[in-house]
Amino acid sequence: MPENIIFPAHFLPIFASFNHLRKMRFFLSLLLSFICFGTYADDGYRLWLKYDPIKNPALKAGYSKKLNSVFIQKTNETIAVAVAELKYATRGMLGKEILETKAPTSSLKLEITKLADISLEAFEIKTIKTQIVISGNTSNGVLYGVFELIRKMQLGESLENINVASSPKIHLRMLNHWDNNNGTIERGYAGMSMWKWYELPERIDPRYIDYARANASIGINGTVLNNVNASARFITGEYLGKVKALADVYRPYGIKVYLSVNFASPKILGKLKTADPLDPEVQKWWKEKADEIYKLIPDFGGFLVKANSEGEPGPMDFGRTHKDGANMLAEAIAPHGGLVIWRAFVYNFDPKGDRFAAAYNEFKKFDGEFLPNVIIQVKNGPIDFQVREPISPLFGAMEKTPVSIEFQLTQEYLGWATHWVYEAPMFEEVLKTDTYAKGKGSTVAKVIDGEAFKYPITSMVGVANTGSDRNWTGHPMAQANWYTLGRLAWNPEMNSATIADEWAKITFRSDAKTTETIKKLMLESREIYVNYTNPLGVHHVMGESHHFGPEPWVEKAPRPDWTALYYHRADSVGIGFDRTEKGSNSLAQYHPELRAKYADIKTIEPEYLLWFHHAPWNMQLATGRSVWNEMVSRYYEGVKSVEKMNIEWATLKGKVDEETFENVSARLKTQLKEAYWWRDASVLYFQKFSKMPVPAPYPKPTRTFEELKALVDVYHVR
């Protein structure tokens, strides 16, 4: 029998309230799930939930003494999975399982009780006399407390006189899956969809339970199952039965399911003549659909909507507004306690405009006019998940309407699954940016956690990077981005170094030197990627449509704001998009203090220079170099850094598991090859405008511009 398998008897309490068929199906799936985790110990499947034996004898003995028995005050499905996780963890790490007891004097106690913190998901872990007590306002809080205790064991922290009190600063901590019903994933780079719709609801894949465990361990409490470019099929009776089956699996782990909906569904499914949100028949159709959904899934989370964006249908097709559309859906699901999450990713077809300003222009005017169960979901930046973006102006503008922040875990613009990019520094950079909306200190973090504007409901979202690949995320190191989303959604004030340290220690369970090397590579990786692809605020110069590799020369696309020239605006004078008063004046959307930070071309941070200014090629920067020389320097130094990443990772051979080592090694080699491609193609293209030489000590690219441009067709046949 493989290591770390929990015997069936340990899961029996979970099924006490299940009907027979559901009980057996869930039981077998959960058992198989743990068998999978035990059988494939080192291929990345276990994520950060590795419960390998603790090597330090003293630490192991101390934990064993503290965790020999557990008393459960009151059980339910969630408490049952918490206890099962404890047994699994102690068996793996300590070589013995914690025993359930009816004696209140046990070494560990789980209880639901009223805490000082009013959050329903709050928990406390305290030593009371000789007993460790994990308390929660609800069973979900207890579950999170159990995972926190396990994390402390994984990190080798003391359990002596433990005193922890924690609650999430964000209410909705969610993953958005861009998965389609045919099994494909839009912008997915880790295989096919995890949801096997053709097997549901009859078969529950064990992977669904492992996904729930991983999410619960980092506090994620919501999942949108399907693509924002939504098929109406997902809200048919056929698919709602499948969604219910997933909701039943995730409920014990504190996770609600949500669906992306197609705004034209009344026409597509209901055969109505219109989907006009002010039409009584359309309103009636959505209310009846909501009733149908909530009858099947009483705790259904609600709808995510992409409307009038990139060809998706919406209220503007009928002369209505985003407010009209969102409020109509909100009214339909309000009686059930559901939410409408309306995406602000909309932009007009205007070749003379500035896409940067589009979301603000569409939504600011309706602030305070949305119903209470509407959240506006805003991408972290104003364009589209670029490698570095200034914050969206909406974070300082929507004072009366809750806004959610949307990050992208899947690496659409960050080299897909072949480039190692730890995204936490990017997220931290955004969250720490001051909007000045309520004076100095009104950071994005304080906006989205409700402190700045007192939002009644708050949300942080990550576009998921998971798929059917055995290691979940394709690139093994991309698992850290999923982990990061959960940790930051629980506490947006956490820093990327702390999260990197946690993840590296838990995932690799290696010596301190190895952990520090991995952590160093993680923390440097994002800036390295920026340097060899988009230095000084260059943006949207990736391949058209597929969004991979360099294509700064793209001047023709289905719409002008999908070209590269629209953004970089390189000419004989300089490069960059002028968003000051002399240009598009999109800077006016920020509060005066933040606007001033970006408005002066002489004092702006170099990293944002070309986002807001058309800078002359020969303009001197604070670095002592001209704009051209600084750009070239960063392209070349970025490639050098990838060379160093390869060298530093090679020193870890034998220090991390072989499969992961070889996997990352191969991807780093690919990353280096593609970094050279980015560097040389970009330098030779922009040199056509600057007419300046590659500065010393950097060598001129050996390949011609035509050869490099032709690589686009090698990588992506259209």
d(CA 29, CA 245): 13
CB atoms within 10 A of CB 439: 11
d(CA 328, CA 643): 54
Beta pairing partners, 513: none
Q: What average pLDDT score do residues 491-499 get?
A: 98
Summarised one tens digit per residue, pLDDT across range 92-110 is: 999 999 999 999 999 999 9
Burial 179-213 (b: 16+ CB within 10 A, else e): bbbeeebebbbbbbbbbbbeebbeebbbbbbbbbb
According to the model, what pLDDT value does residue 349 have? Answer: 73
d(CA 333, CA 304): 12
What DSSP character marks residue 449?
Answer: T
According to the model, what pLDDT value does residue 575 have? Answer: 98
Going 351 to 357 to 361 to 362, the CA torsion angle's sign is positive
Residue 580 has pLDDT above 90, yes or no: yes
Q: In what order do the strands lie in the sheet with 99-101?
A: 99-101, 69-72, 108-112, 131-136, 123-128, 163-166
Concatenate the DSSP letters of all residues of 597-641 into one string: HHH-TTTS-GGGHHHH--EETTPBPTTSSBHHHHHHHHHHHHHHH
d(CA 692, CA 11): 69
For the chain, the straight-line distance linking the first and the last C-alpha, in angstroms and rounded, comes to 49
CB atoms within 10 A of CB 76: 18
Strands (DSSP E) found in 49-107: 69-72, 99-101
According to the model, what pLDDT value does residue 348 have? Answer: 80
Query: Please, are residues 631 and 623 in contact by the beta-carbon 8 Å criterion?
Result: no
Candidates 100, 111, 299, 310; catalytic one: 310
Domains, the chain, in order of start with CATH, read 8-166 (3.30.379.10), 172-509 (3.20.20.80), 530-715 (3.90.1330.10)
Angle of helix 705-715 relative to helix 658-690, nearest 10 degrees? 140
Measured CA distances, 412 to 43, 188, 309, 547 (Å): 24, 8, 18, 7
Summarised one tens digit per residue, pLDDT across range 239-270 is: 999 999 999 999 999 999 999 999 999 999 99
CA angle, residues 265, 271, 272, in degrees to nearest 5:
85
Alpha-carbon 394 to chain mean position? 20
What global pTM score does this model have?
A: 0.95
Q: What's the chain's average pLDDT? A: 94
According to the model, what pLDDT value does residue 329 have? Answer: 99
Burial 309-335 (b: 16+ CB within 10 A, else e): beebbbbbbbebbbbbbbbbbbbbbbe
Candidates 97, 276, 412, 657; catalytic one: 412
According to the model, what pLDDT value does residue 716 have? Answer: 61
**Nearest-CA neighbor of 108 among 131, 86, 128?**
131
Contact residues for 481 (Cβ-Cβ < 8 A; gap 6+)? 409, 421, 422, 423, 424, 462, 465, 473
Tell me, yes or no, if 100 is annotated catalytic: no
Concatenate the DSSP letters of all residues of 487-530 into one string: HHHH-TT--HHHHHHHHHHHHH---HHHHHHHHHHHHHHHHHHH
Tell me, yes or no, if 637 is annotated catalytic: no
Summarised one tens digit per residue, pLDDT across range 306-350 is: 999 999 999 999 999 999 999 999 999 999 999 999 999 999 877
The torsion defined by the Cα of 36, 41, 46 and 48, in degrees rounded to 10, comes to 160
d(CA 174, CA 302): 12
Which is higher by pLDDT, 15 or 368?
368
- Report the amino acid identity of residue 528: I
Tell me, yes or no, if 648 is annotated catalytic: no
Residue 496 has pLDDT above 70, yes or no: yes
